[in-house]
């Protein structure tokens, strides 16, 4: 069947098509408002603002609402559903503000802007792509609980939270160090990897050794560093000792806020100047490059009046070349067995095979010269082997062998200790299972029955960590036999902790059981037996951005048996307590208030009734002022009774302290004053005041003085005074990071003078330009009264010097190449005038192309023999500049012209006279003509 198509049929089809289109258009004739908004937005920390406009059609208005749907972790500030009512042909402008809980949550996400009518139906939606600029931000926070240093063998736990608030994965190295240690200060390193928005709590325990008890307080510095060695943060953890023995406190603690300090320094300190036995300390530290190796050393020598010789301690030299490290002098190693002394240590780390080993031979004495005078306390030798798996920081296997002869106790010990990762590289993220296994031999030295026999011992334990989702489980079990020579001797320990973060709160449940019953062959060590069991739960949560609270209920049962001069004492205590703590900060974060309150019901064996005990701590700080107070009624645990005049009564304690400080002379002079009072019903009373003064005498020299006055009395009323005066001086030595590449540096000296006769020479009758400001790159320099200004230690390179006009005197801009140690430059300032001009665009309607008529940043050149000056135009095309006297050719820099704007390149010559203004005639710019396409119509 043939279909005959005619022109008439074609017209019928076109007419039907037009009717269909018209009907469809009539059905959708209602035009929805038009949304104008950016389709891509960069998200920044803090508050972000999204600007948009909604315009109604010319036919009718619109009534409805608009909403911004954000990805998870973002909050809109204000109402999420914004009502909208627009009249005909009207435009409404909005600014929706929101903030992100973490920038990483917005990476590659999309925000949806939705327009809804009065019925809630979405009529139009626009996607806005969110982009996050690369940002590096890692923060460290101290979450260490308050702890005392009590006795040898105890452990003090540090808790540091590391959070990655940036937008990329970071590898952070955490270094633990302490200047109070014997030997090298750094004693622990670990490497962690954090994804954006991820945080981790690092818990490290430090075994209390004998020398630690000789400090009034033990300070641990925790430093974080990125992979490129940039500093993340520094945190100082301070633990107070309960021991009555006190050693000197360093006058010059490390302070990272004082940028003028370096790791290289030398200090001299005189202590106890108000007593017949003054003590003098000399301490030095340095980090240098020597014969291609990195050399680090520390030295300390002190002498007490009346001693036959000075004592040298904390003195060592460490040389590192590649993966080989050799250490000579005082050495201390954090092993399963406390090892310190004077000797030699060699270690090697092979990163390709991921192994390292250490060998050392020591004489057991903190005095470097003790062996020469026959005052050594024995010898020790040890070896350590480590094998780790990538990522770095996860230890797969560690072995230690320690042999020791202790002449003080007349004992000999051998320890073999192993630590291994049972899951190794196959462990899922957040899970680990580590085993510990140790063997030891312990015996007496010398001749006699039984002295040649050794007592065998053993120890073992497991440590399990698991992180299922938001939960975290830590479990540890450890046992060691009574004569085990390790740190935890005669110990049965079981610890379990289950915690999780719920919203902004941290919840945890803890269980701890400890039974310590060590045995000693030496009579120098006293016997004790301590058993404790504790169950506690904790809740820490922020109520507001500036207020945090904590709630810790606990059950405690303990038994302590002590052997004292009065005989054997047994203390048994059971208690149930509740601790409430909080922290409050002001809106400007300058005021801070800390408080804690603990109440407990205590049942002690030997008493007929249950006692009540409480302890309250308050603290307030504002700038350099701080005040703390503490009150305790009754004994909450057995330790509160040890050392008191009566181990039966319930002691009451009250203490208060305050300190205030300030700075003068632009921070060069600083002072701190403090006072304290301690009142106890059974331990006696103490009162004291102290004053610290420090003065930065020269750029790298600091002088410090300390005055301390105290009065102490025991429980029987016997009082004694203690006064101390200390003086010290520290000299900071030059420092350059030995690991950084050597950069050649030089000095630039510039002398400016007023060139009255214009010959460019500093004549005797001409004056120097004193107090004249000029710039060199990004630096602003000022000359002295002789017109001189010097910039020292500049890296070799090219620098641009700009000299602004002053009292109609000025100089041309100079480009200086620093390529040797010292460059001297004399700059004549000559009289000049001002040149002014304007640019204009010639535009022909209908013919010229559409261009941007903003003339900002177009350069105009002032050319003269041997050089040129550059002038920038404002948005109106106007330019002006002060130039030295002379003849100039004013031309447009053709390379700075926008697209489709041209100039013929011709210049205008002007002669500039001192103090005069030279007007340049208008410089006309042209616009390229449009490209016109001519179409011809005709018949074939």
Q: Same CATH topology for 745-831 and 832-927?
A: yes
Mean pLDDT in residue range 408-416? 88
With a CB cutoff of 8 Å and minimum separation 6, the contacts of 175 are 186, 188, 189, 222, 223, 224, 225
pLDDT reported for residue 441: 92
With a CB cutoff of 8 Å and minimum separation 6, the contacts of 111 are 41, 50, 68, 69, 70, 71, 74, 127, 128, 130
- The confidence band for 28, taking pLDDT boundaries of 50, 70 and 90, is very low
User: Terminal CA-to-CA distance of the chain, rounded, Å?
Assistant: 34
pLDDT reported for residue 458: 95
* Rounded Cα distance, 569 and 382, in Å: 38
pLDDT reported for residue 623: 76
* Domain at 832-927, CATH from 3.40.50.1580, 2.60.40.10, 1.25.40.80, 3.50.7.10: 2.60.40.10
* Rounded Cα distance, 687 and 62, in Å: 78
Strand order of the β-sheet with 886-892 is 867-872, 859-864, 886-892, 908-912
pLDDT reported for residue 740: 64
* Rounded Cα distance, 408 and 683, in Å: 32
pLDDT reported for residue 931: 66
* Rounded Cα distance, 853 and 877, in Å: 9
With a CB cutoff of 8 Å and minimum separation 6, the contacts of 680 are 644, 651, 652, 653, 654, 715
Q: Which one, of 399, 349, 84, 273, lies nearest residue 725 by Cα?
A: 273
Q: Within a 13 Å sphere around the CA of 146, how many CA atoms are in the beta-carbon half?
A: 6
* Rounded Cα distance, 724 and 710, in Å: 9
With a CB cutoff of 8 Å and minimum separation 6, the contacts of 40 are 128, 129, 131
* Rounded Cα distance, 253 and 794, in Å: 31
Lowest mean pLDDT among 190-194, 229-233, 425-429, 480-484: 425-429
pLDDT reported for residue 391: 56
Pick the more confident residue, 110 or 482: 482
Q: Is the pLDDT of residue 424 over 70?
A: no
Lowest mean pLDDT among 419-428, 570-579, 900-909: 419-428
* Cβ–Cβ under 8 Å, residues 499 and 509: yes
* Cβ–Cβ under 8 Å, residues 702 and 694: yes
pLDDT reported for residue 585: 78
- Measured in degrees and rounded to the nearest 5, phi and psi for residue 720 equal -150, 155
Mean pLDDT in residue range 782-795? 85
Which of 52-66, 197-211, 452-466, 729-743 shows the highest mean pLDDT? 452-466
Mean pLDDT in residue range 120-130? 79
Kindly state the tokens that stand for 375: 């005052």
Domain spans of the chain, in order of start: 34-131, 135-228+237-243, 526-640, 745-831, 832-927
Pick the more confident residue, 54 or 664: 664
**For 612-624, what is each residue's pLDDT tens digit?**
888 888 888 887 7
Mean pLDDT in residue range 262-276? 84
* Rounded Cα distance, 577 and 614, in Å: 9
* Rounded Cα distance, 235 and 67, in Å: 44
Three-state SS across 143-181? CCCCCEECCCCCEEEEEEEEEECCCCCEEEEEEEECCCC
* Rounded Cα distance, 705 and 725, in Å: 8
- Annotation: CATH topology of 135-228+237-243: Immunoglobulin-like (2.60.40)
Which residue pairs from 74-81 have beta carbons closer than 8 angstroms and sit at least 24 positions apart in sequence?
74/98, 74/99, 74/100, 74/101, 74/105, 74/106, 74/111, 75/99, 75/101, 77/47
| CATH for the stretch 34-131 | 2.60.40.10
CATH superfamily placement of domain 745-831: Immunoglobulins (2.60.40.10)
* Cβ–Cβ under 8 Å, residues 530 and 563: no
pLDDT reported for residue 481: 93
- Measured in degrees and rounded to the nearest 5, phi and psi for residue 640 equal -65, -20
Please report the beta strands in 545-649, taking only residues with DSSP state E, as ranges in sequence order.
Answer: 547-564, 567-585, 591-604, 611-622, 625-633
Pick the more confident residue, 393 or 432: 432
Q: Is the pLDDT of residue 554 over 80?
A: yes
* Cβ–Cβ under 8 Å, residues 844 and 822: no
* Rounded Cα distance, 71 and 898, in Å: 40
Which of 162-171, 440-449, 670-679, 838-847 shows the highest mean pLDDT? 670-679
Pick the more confident residue, 280 or 88: 280
Mean pLDDT in residue range 643-670? 74
Task: For strands 148-149 and 231-241, give the pairing.
Answer: parallel
- The confidence band for 331, taking pLDDT boundaries of 50, 70 and 90, is confident
Q: Is the pLDDT of residue 74 over 60?
A: yes
Average per-residue pLDDT for the chain:
78
Measure Cα distances from 561 to 518, 520, 904 in Å.
Answer: 12, 16, 103
Measure Cα distances from 401 to 148, 382, 384, 422 in Å.
Answer: 31, 5, 7, 21
Pick the more confident residue, 125 or 358: 358
pLDDT reported for residue 293: 78
- The confidence band for 389, taking pLDDT boundaries of 50, 70 and 90, is confident
pLDDT reported for residue 256: 41
pLDDT reported for residue 382: 94
Pick the more confident residue, 398 or 371: 398
Pick the more confident residue, 242 or 287: 287
pLDDT reported for residue 616: 87
Kindly state the tokens that stand for 142: 């101290």
Q: Is the pLDDT of residue 115 over 60?
A: yes
């Amino acid at each position: 069947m043939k279909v005959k198509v005619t022109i008439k049929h074609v017209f019928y089809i076109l007419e039907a098509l037009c009717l269909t289109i018209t009907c469809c258009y009539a059905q959708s004739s209602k035009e929805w408002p038009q949304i104008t908004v950016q389709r891509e937005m960069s998200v920044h920390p803090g508050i972000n603002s999204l600007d948009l406009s909604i315009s109604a059609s010319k036919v009718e208005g619109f009534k409805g609402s608009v909403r911004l749907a954000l990805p998870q972790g973002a909050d809109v500030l204000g109402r999420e559903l914004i009502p909208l009512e627009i009249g005909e042909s009207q435009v409404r402008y909005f600014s929706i503000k929101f903030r992100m809980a973490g920038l990483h949550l917005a990476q590659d996400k999309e925000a949806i802007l939705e327009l809804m009518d009065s019925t809630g139906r979405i009529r139009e939606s626009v996607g806005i792509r969110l982009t996050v600029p690369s940002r590096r931000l890692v923060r460290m926070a101290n979450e260490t609980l308050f702890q005392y240093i009590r006795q040898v063998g105890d452990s003090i736990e540090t808790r540091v939270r590391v959070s990655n608030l940036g937008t990329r994965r970071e590898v952070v190295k955490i270094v633990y160090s302490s200047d109070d240690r014997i030997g090298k200060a750094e004693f622990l390193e670990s490497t962690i990897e954090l994804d954006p928005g991820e945080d981790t709590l690092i818990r490290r325990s430090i075994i209390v050794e004998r020398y630690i008890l000789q400090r009034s307080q033990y300070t641990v510095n925790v430093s974080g560093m990125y992979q490129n060695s940039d500093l993340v943060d520094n945190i100082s953890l301070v633990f107070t000792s309960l021991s009555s023995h006190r050693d000197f406190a360093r006058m010059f603690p490390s302070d990272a806020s004082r940028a003028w300090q370096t790791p290289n320094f030398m200090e001299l300190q005189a202590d106890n100047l108000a007593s017949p036995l003054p003590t003098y300390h000399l301490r030095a530290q340095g980090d240098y490059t020597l014969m291609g190796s990195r050399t680090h050393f520390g030295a300390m020598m002190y002498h007490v009046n009346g001693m036959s010789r000075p004592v040298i301690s904390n003195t060592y030299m460490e040389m590192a070349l590649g993966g080989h490290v050799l250490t000579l002098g005082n050495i201390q190693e954090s092993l399963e067995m406390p090892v310190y002394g004077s000797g030699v240590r060699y270690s090697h780390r092979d990163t390709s095979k991921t192994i390292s080993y250490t060998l050392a031979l020591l004489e057991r004495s903190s005095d470097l010269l003790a062996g020469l005078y026959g005052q050594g306390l024995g010898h020790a030798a040890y070896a350590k082997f480590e094998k780790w798996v990538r990522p770095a920081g996860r230890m797969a296997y560690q072995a230690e062998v320690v042999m020791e002869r202790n002449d003080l106790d007349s004992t000999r010990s051998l320890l073999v200790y192993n630590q291994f990762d049972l899951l190794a590289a196959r462990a899922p993220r957040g899970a680990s299972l580590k085993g510990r296994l140790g063997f030891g031999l312990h015996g007496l030295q010398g001749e006699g029955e039984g002295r040649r026999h050794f007592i065998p011992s053993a120890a073992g334990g497991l440590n399990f960590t698991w992180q299922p989702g938001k939960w975290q489980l830590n479990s540890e079990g450890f046992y060691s036999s009574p004569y085990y020579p390790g740190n935890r001797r005669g110990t049965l320990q079981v610890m379990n902790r289950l915690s999780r973060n719920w919203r902004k709160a941290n919840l945890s449940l803890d269980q701890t059981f400890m039974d310590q019953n060590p045995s000693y062959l030496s009579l120098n060590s006293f016997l004790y037996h301590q058993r404790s069991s504790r169950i506690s739960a904790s809740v820490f949560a922020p109520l507001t951005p500036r207020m945090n609270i904590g709630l810790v209920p606990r059950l405690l049962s303990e038994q302590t048996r002590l052997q004292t001069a009065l005989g054997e004492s047994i203390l048994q205590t059971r208690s149930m307590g509740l601790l409430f703590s909080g922290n409050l900060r002001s809106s400007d974060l300058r005021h801070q208030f800390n408080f804690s309150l603990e109440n407990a019901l205590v049942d002690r064996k030997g008493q007929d009734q249950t006692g009540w005990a409480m302890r309250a701590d308050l603290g307030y700080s504002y700038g350099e002022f701080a005040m703390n107070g503490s009150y305790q009624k009754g004994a909450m645990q057995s330790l509160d009774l040890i050392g008191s005049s009566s181990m039966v009564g319930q002691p009451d304690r009250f203490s208060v302290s305050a300190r205030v400080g300030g700075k003068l002379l632009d921070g060069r002079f600083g002072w701190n004053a403090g006072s304290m009072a301690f009142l106890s019903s059974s331990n006696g009373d103490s009162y004291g005041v102290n004053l610290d003064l420090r003065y930065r005498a020269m750029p790298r020299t600091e002088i410090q003085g300390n005055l301390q006055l105290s009065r102490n009395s025991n429980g029987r009323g016997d009082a004694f005074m203690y006064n101390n005066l200390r003086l010290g001086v520290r000299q900071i030595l030059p420092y350059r990071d030995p690991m950084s590449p050597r950069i050649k540096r030089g000095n630039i000296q510039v002398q400016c003078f007023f060139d009255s006769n214009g010959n460019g020479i500093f004549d005797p009758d001409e004056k120097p330009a004193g107090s004249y400001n000029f710039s060199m790159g990004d630096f602003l320099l000022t000359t002295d009264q002789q017109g001189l200004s010097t910039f020292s230690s500049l890296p070799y390179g090219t620098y641009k010097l700009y000299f602004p006009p002053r009292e109609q005197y000025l100089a041309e801009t100079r480009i200086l190449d620093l390529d040797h140690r010292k460059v001297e430059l004399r700059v004549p300032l000559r009289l000049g005038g001002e040149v002014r001009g304007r640019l204009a665009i010639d535009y022909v309607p209908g013919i010229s192309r559409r261009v941007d008529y903003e003339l900002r940043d177009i350069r105009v050149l002032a050319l003269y023999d041997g050089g040129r000056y550059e002038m920038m135009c404002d948005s109106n095309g106007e330019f002006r500049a002060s130039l030295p006297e002379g003849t100039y050719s004013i031309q447009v820099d053709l390379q700075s012209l926008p697209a489709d704007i041209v100039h013929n390149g011709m210049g205008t010559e002007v002669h500039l006279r001192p103090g005069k203004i030279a007007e340049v005639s208008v410089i006309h710019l042209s616009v390229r003509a449009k490209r016109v396409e001519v179409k011809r119509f005709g018949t074939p």
